[in-house]
């Protein structure tokens, strides 16, 4: 199934990379850099299945963004999930706001699995190694590509 997702994150690079990953999985993604921008987008287009909101933004937290959206668009039918580098939300979540948490360090395949589950309103069921970061993945891939020949050719030192 193809989902329509609104990704809200203040970091442009994060928005671009994550949106691209989700789009490559066949979904439609629109992005917003703030809670106010998200409200404006949702007011104009209510066809989203999921609003994936960065928890830690400079002007307001992801929980505050969700509250803002719900207050301004009370009849909007959409699922929410928090997108964060934290393992859990600082201070916890109240039972009335049990939003799923999608980790920013989640491997791409598991990120897609989490986004799709959240879009359906289902609990997230991620693999034990789901949080292997993209950096760790790239390092592992690069290590496997290094050959003995690469190691035997030192880089010239421009300082000496």
Which of 81-84's residues contact partners 24+ apart within 8 Å by CB, and which partners?
Answer: 81/50, 81/51, 81/52, 81/53, 81/114, 81/115, 81/118, 82/53, 82/54, 82/55, 83/7, 83/9, 83/18, 83/52, 83/53, 83/54, 83/55, 84/54, 84/55, 84/56
- pTM for the whole structure: 0.77
pLDDT in tens, 67-117: 999 999 999 999 999 998 866 555 555 555 678 888 888 888 889 999 999
Question: For position 160, what pLDDT does the model report?
Answer: 47
Question: For position 148, what pLDDT does the model report?
Answer: 46
The tokens for 153 are 């050719």
What whole-number distance in Å separates Cα of residue 69 and Cα of residue 35?
8
Domain ranges of the chain: 4-151
CATH of span 4-151: 3.40.50.2300
End-to-end CA separation in angstroms for the chain = 59
């Amino acid at each position: 199934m193809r989902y329509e997702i609104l990704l809200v994150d203040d970091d442009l690079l994060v928005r671009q990379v994550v949106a691209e990953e989700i789009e490559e999985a066949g979904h439609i993604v629109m992005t917003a850099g703030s809670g106010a921008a998200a409200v404006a987008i949702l007011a104009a287009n209510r066809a989203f299945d999921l609003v994936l909101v960065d928890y830690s933004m400079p002007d307001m937290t992801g929980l505050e963004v969700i509250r803002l959206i719900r207050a301004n668009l009370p009849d909007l039918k959409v699922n929410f999930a928090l997108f964060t580098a934290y393992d859990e939300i600082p201070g916890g979540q109240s039972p009335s706001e049990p939003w799923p948490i999608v980790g920013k360090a989640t491997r791409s395949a598991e990120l897609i699995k989490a986004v799709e589950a959240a879009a359906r309103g289902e609990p997230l069921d991620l693999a034990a190694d789901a949080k292997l970061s993209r950096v760790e993945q790239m390092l592992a891939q690069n290590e496997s590509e290094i050959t003995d020949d690469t190691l035997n050719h030192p880089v010239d030192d421009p300082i000496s």
